[in-house]
Amino acid sequence: MAPKINIENRGILISAIVLIVSVLLLIDRLLAQGPVQLILENGKAVPVEGASYFSLNEVLLLIIAAWLGGMSFLYIIISSKEKETPQSEQSETVITENKSAAMVAADILDGDEKILFQKILDNDGLLQRELILNTDFSEPKVSRLLDKLERRGLLIRKRDGMGNRVILKK
């Protein structure tokens, strides 16, 4: 079975092929050597490179190849920028879905775990020491509760300077 390529990827693929062909064509024409003449001096053949000029057809070919290559390059850049924009919109919907799932998890929890998780839910991306200040729990208690919540897969602690940043798991 052949892999399916969607229309956007097909355009990028065609542009990439045009770009590569135009660059190779430009390199070939610009690095082509001029005619070489052999002159006999003292019984030895000495090669002498003659001046080469581009014909009108070659100049037109170079202009068209450069233009096609430039347009293909711009198309690839612009289409890759357009693909980045929808991801940010998707991430916003994922965040709202994560928050709603986290609210369900908060309803299941009880006691101090629920209090701590609710603080994290209200202030996503909170530092661990800020949780200690906001909840009036001791450092060991907050650490133990965070360990439990992390083992359940509800949150993640990431290193941030000298402390940990607590964020909801996606």
* 4-63 pLDDT per residue, tens: 656 667 888 888 999 999 999 989 888 887 778 888 888 888 888 877 788 899 899 999
Separation CA 97–CA 39 (nearest Å)? 81
- Give the list of residues 6+ apart from residue 112 with CB closer than 8 angstroms, or none: 137, 141, 145
Buried/exposed code over 82-110 (b: 16+ C-beta within 10 A; e: otherwise) = eeeeeeeeeeeeeeeeeeeebeebbeebe
pLDDT (0 to 100) of residue 63: 93
pLDDT (0 to 100) of residue 1: 52
Of the candidates 149, 54, 25, the one whose C-alpha atom is nearest the C-alpha of residue 164 is 149
Of the candidates 116, 97, 95, 96, the one whose C-alpha atom is nearest the C-alpha of residue 106 is 116
In this predicted structure, the answer to whether residue 88 has a pLDDT above a threshold of 50 is no
- Mean pLDDT along residues 72-90: 72
| pLDDT, greater one: 71 or 104 | 71
Q: Tell me the pLDDT of the chain averaged across its residues.
A: 81
Separation CA 144–CA 164 (nearest Å)? 14
Strand spans (E) along the chain: 36-41, 44-49, 126-127, 155-160, 163-168
pLDDT (0 to 100) of residue 93: 47
* 9-18 pLDDT per residue, tens: 788 888 899 9
pTM above 0.75, yes or no: no
* 102-161 pLDDT per residue, tens: 677 777 788 888 888 888 888 877 888 888 888 888 999 989 988 988 888 888 888 888
- Mean pLDDT along residues 81-89: 58
